[in-house]
């Protein structure tokens, strides 16, 4: 769990640093940061999906996952509930913190390093992936907090729960997590990150949180087969 603790701390520190920097950034430069984060999320999402397509044993599974997951998410309306919850803790009711948090959570949690890192840590006591991910997340959290504010620090405990869950599940079942499942999660997760980028750039409002159940469909599928 050392790697996960370090990763959580770097996001916390990056969020604090970014918030301090935000106070000295003019509005026109904040808009530039919005665009930069939108493009970064868009490109990172595409790369995560495309790079894992060759590893997929079920090339159309991601389509089924997105379709079923989106239907579930829109029926439960996760986006509206999450935005309402964030507004209760936000002094600025017109802030885009909910959008920033949803993007940050996806960037921190849905990636090869963030998923494979806890697995490597549990099986081989190797924290290399998690330490690398921590360094990347420090930079990302700093930029996100300089754009969306101190509320981005809320993503840190979510990352801890996510990676901690993967760590303990892997410890319990051993090497039962297949490379195929990892690939499918990365493909679907990459698409969700791309959708976040489109929303930030105001190209298309994707309501990414409503698509979040798509991530659980590959897990259910692999459990069934």
Q: What is the pLDDT of residues 93-103, one digit of tens each?
A: 456 787 788 88
179 or 49, higher pLDDT? 49
As a whole number, mean pLDDT of residues 28-38 equals 76
**Over 60: is that where the pLDDT of 9 sits?**
yes
- Angstrom distances, CA of residue 186 to CA of 14, 105, 179, 201, 213: 25, 14, 11, 22, 14
The predicted structure's pLDDT at residue 5: 95
**Helix, strand, coil: what percent of the chain each, to 5?**
85, 0, 15
Give the containing element (helix H, strand E) for 164. Answer: helix 155-173
pTM (2 d.p.): 0.71
CA nearest neighbour of 96 among 189, 160, 33, 21: 33
On the 0-12 / 13-18 / 19+ scale of CB atoms within 10 A, 117 is buried
Please list, in sequence order, all residues whose beta carbon lies within 8 angstroms of the beta carbon of residue 71, skipping any fewer than 6 positions away: none
As a whole number, mean pLDDT of residues 181-205 equals 85
Q: What range defines the domain where residue 89 resides?
A: 2-224
Altogether, the residues listed in the chain come to a count of 225
45 or 177, higher pLDDT? 45
**Over 70: is that where the pLDDT of 8 sits?**
yes
Total structural domains in the chain? Answer: 1
72 confidence band (pLDDT: 50, 70, 90): very high
82 confidence band (pLDDT: 50, 70, 90): confident
Separation of alpha carbons 216 and 213, rounded Å: 6
The predicted structure's pLDDT at residue 89: 56
């Amino acid at each position: 769990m050392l790697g996960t603790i370090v990763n959580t701390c770097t996001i916390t520190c990056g969020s604090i640093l970014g918030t301090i920097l935000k106070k000295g950034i003019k509005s026109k430069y904040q808009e530039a940061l919005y665009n930069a984060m939108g493009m970064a999320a868009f490109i990172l999402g595409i790369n995560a999906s495309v790079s894992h397509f060759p590893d997929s044993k079920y090339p159309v599974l991601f389509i089924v996952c997105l379709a079923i997951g989106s239907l579930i998410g829109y029926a439960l309306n996760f986006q509206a509930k999450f935005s309402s919850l964030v507004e209760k803790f936000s002094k600025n009711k017109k802030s885009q913190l909910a959008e920033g948090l949803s993007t940050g959570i996806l960037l921190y949690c849905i990636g090869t390093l963030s998923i494979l890192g806890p697995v490597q840590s549990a099986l081989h006591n190797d924290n290399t992936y998690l330490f690398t991910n921590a360094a990347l997340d420090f930079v990302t959290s700093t930029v996100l907090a300089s754009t969306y504010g101190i509320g981005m620090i809320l993503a840190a405990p979510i990352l801890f729960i996510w990676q901690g869950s993967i760590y303990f599940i892997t410890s319990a079942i051993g090497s039962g997590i297949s490379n195929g499942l990892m690939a499918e999660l990365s493909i679907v997760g990459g698409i969700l990150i791309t959708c976040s980028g489109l929303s930030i750039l105001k190209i298309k409002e994707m309501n990414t949180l409503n698509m979040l159940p798509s991530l659980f469909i590959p897990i259910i599928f692999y459990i069934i087969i």
